[in-house]
Amino acid sequence: MKLQITMKTPDCISDTIDEAKRQAWEEVENECDRETFDEEMAGTFDSWKELCEKWFSYGECVTLEIDTEEETIRVLEVGK
């Protein structure tokens, strides 16, 4: 049997990307100023948010499908 569970995880995407930004900045803070970093990385972080939209609707709801026979779990794409 396959069970589908939808979970609401407010702010999980933005919090995770914000943490990734912080870590990336720490790696290069001695090499450039913050404004240059933010400008150069803006497209990267935006593309990460877009990618997450493949699985998260409204930026916070994700649906998981659990296969009880195979004992597996997968993230379902939005609209599938």
Half-sphere exposure of 21 toward its Cβ, with a 13 Å CA cutoff? 20
Q: What is the pLDDT of residues 11-40, one digit of tens each?
A: 999 999 999 999 999 999 889 899 999 999
> 80 pLDDT band (50/70/90 cuts)?
low
Q: What is the 3-state secondary structure (H, E, C) of 8-31?
A: ECCCHHHHHHHHHHHHHHHHHCCC
Which sequence spans correspond to the domains of the chain?
2-75
pTM: 0.74
Which residue is listed with tokens 């997450």? Answer: 52
